Amino acid sequence: MSESMTETKLTERQMKMLNLIKELPTITAKKMSETLSVSQRTVERDLSTLKNKGVLMREGKDNDGLWQILITMG
């Protein structure tokens, strides 16, 4: 059962990250950090939070996998 973004408390940056992933599921943390003008470590921390909340999962290997969003994006 998937939740909606409004039911899952996300920061504005996390929502922007999900939008980037929706547009390009193969995007890297480095590219997200460049696009959002934050450090790569900040992106990695947010990705970890999103995975722990059940919002996001990584499919495949780190270097050639893709992100899968597990909630409904309104």
What's this model's pTM, rounded to 2 decimal places?
0.86
Q: Helix, strand, coil % (nearest 5) of the chain?
A: 45, 15, 40
Q: Can you give the pLDDT at residue 1?
A: 38
Structural domains in the chain plus CATH codes: 12-69 (1.10.10.10)
Q: Can you give the pLDDT at residue 7?
A: 61
Exposure pattern of 11-27 as b/e (b: 16+ CB <10 Å)?
eeebebbbebbeeeeeb
Q: What is the pLDDT along the chain (74 residues), one digit of tens a residue?
A: 345 555 678 999 999 999 999 999 999 999 999 999 999 999 999 999 999 999 999 999 877 899 999 998 76
